[in-house]
Structure 1
């Protein structure tokens, strides 16, 4: 498949996802006395909005440098984010159906039970990981471009080491969170609804946690792909520089690392 076609798929899904995120932020901000757990989602959504904007700024050549696999998985991660936001908006509309004038009524406020809280917790975790993943995509795209420029070996080593550490740490965090989603699904299956909650709340919470589990797997694939991208780019950048000689701390006198040619040395006259 043409890599530019794949990149177009990412660009195509970013705009509607960003629109969905902004609508949900607006809905949450219109609930004057929303519970803290609901209010906290506003920050998560705004962060994802910034990450989506950064991905939107990635150029076609940069997507090509990231490769088909990373590009396709990025599209899948964004699509999962959009789906979760749409589902949560539907649930939020149902939860606040008794509210008027943008104020969450006490009746609605009092029925944020186990399933609704589980739904909120799960989408919050998904949004946070989506933000980190998409920010990493944009960051590595920029890093890859910079590695094509003239850089010293030490600069390359530092940049790659920093990115590798951050991505490996995030993959480990995703693995831990994935294990938690399995336990959470089991808990939701056995839980009894709180007063005011319905079967729709249990179904919504369960679907969201299942979606989070899938989204985490998608994010892991993106991050693993990014690791390969930066390692390959670093190797190519260093190969272009040719072999280097490390003299350690003794930066004086005549020193030779490995040499197979003739050496011409001119000595100046001591004054």
Structure 2
């Protein structure tokens, strides 16, 4: 597959996803005296917006350095984010259908404040995971660019180690969330709707959690591919450093270990 077309595919999905996120943020901000869960969701959406903007800044050459697998999985993760935002907006419009001019009716406030807590929490968790994943993509892309420049060996190793730790932590968190979401989805499918909750509402909640599960799986694939990219970078960094020769405690004498390259030595006068 043409790498340029793959990159164009990612770039092509970022802009409409960012537009969808910003539109949903505006809708939520227009709700006067919104419940705390809605305010928290707004913050999560804004974080995703920043992450999407950072991914949008990744250049074609940086995508190429990350590889086809990371690029394709990133596109899938961003697409899931867009789909979830669109679905949530549809649900939000339904939940606030009795309200006007941004002021929640008592009925809609009860709906958002009580019956939709699980739905909103699931959406928030998905957005948080998406933000971490996309931020990781952008940071690793920047790392690759930095490795093309001349830097001290220790600085390179520190940069790689820091990114590797962050991605490993993100993978562990994603795995924990996946297990929780699987249990939540099973529980939702086995329970009857709460009092005041319609079958349509329950189906919507089930679809939201199922979408969260799917998105977590896609994020894990992105992170695992990023980890592979970092590990390869670490191997290349070590290989580029070449052999290290130590000249004893008093910096005198000649010491040669196993060496397959050219040794250049300068001998001074012993004081």
TM-score, normalised by the number of residues in structure 1? 0.92
State the distance in 1 between where 2:130 and 2:165 align: 18
Tell me if the contact between 2:35 and 2:113 (Cα under 8 Å) persists in the aligned partners.
no
Counterpart position of 1:108: 108
8 Å contact from structure 1 (residues 115, 202) kept in 2: no
Task: Say which SS state the counterpart of residue 138 (structure 1) adopts.
Answer: helix
Contact 1:115 1:193 in 2 (8 A): no
Which moves more between the two structures, 106-115 or 145-154?
106-115
Closer, same or farther in 2 for the Cα pair 1:255/1:180, shift >3 Å? farther
CA contact (8 A) 1:113 1:193 kept: no
Q: What 5-or-longer segments of structure 2 have no aligned partner? A: none
1:242 corresponds in structure 2 to: 242
Superposed CA offset, 1:227-260 (max 9, x none): 1112212322332332223679x47434635266
Q: How far apart, in 2, do the equivalents of 1:2 and 1:50 lie? A: 28
2:90 matched to 1:90? yes
**Greater shift in the superposed pair: 104-113 or 142-151:** 104-113
- Name the counterpart of 1:99: 99
Match of 1:227 in 2: 227
1-structure distance, mates of 2:115, 2:6: 37
Partner residue in 2 for 1:67 = 67
Aligned mates of 1:58, 1:262 — CA distance in 2: 40
Cα distance, 1:247–1:257 mapped onto 2, change above 3 Å: same
Q: Calculate the aligned-residue CA RMSD, in Å.
A: 2.1
CA distance in 2, matches of 1:247, 1:262: 13
Q: Does 1:22 align with 2:22?
A: yes
Q: Is structure 2 residue 186 aligned with structure 1 residue 197?
A: no
Counterpart mapping for 1:1-271 below 5 A? 1-112=1-112, 116-245=116-245, 250=249, 252-254=251-253, 256-258=255-257, 266-268=267-269, 270=271
**C-alpha distance in structure 2 between counterparts of 1:228 and 1:27, whole Å:** 39
Aligned partners of 2:97, 2:37: CA distance in 1, in Å? 18
Larger CA deviation: 75-84 vs 31-40:
31-40
**Cα contact 2:160–2:233 (8 A) shared by 1:** no
Is the Cα contact below 8 Å between 1:13 and 1:78 reproduced in 2?
A: yes
Contact residue 44 and residue 128 of structure 2 kept, 8 A: yes
Paired with 1:146 and 1:188, the residues of 2 have a C-alpha distance of 47
In 2: Cα distance, 1:219 partner to 1:8 partner: 20
State the TM-score, normalizing by the size of structure 2.
Answer: 0.92
CA offset at residue 113 of structure 1?
Answer: 7.0
Give the unaligned 5+ runs of structure 1. Answer: none
Residues 120 and 242 of structure 1, relative CA distance in 2, 3 Å threshold: same
How far residue 101 of structure 1 moved from its aligned partner, in angstroms, is: 1.0
In 2, Cα distance between the equivalents of 1:267 and 1:18?
A: 63
Count of residue pairs brought into register by the alignment = 269
Distance 2:15 2:175 in 1: 29
SS class of match (2:111):
coil
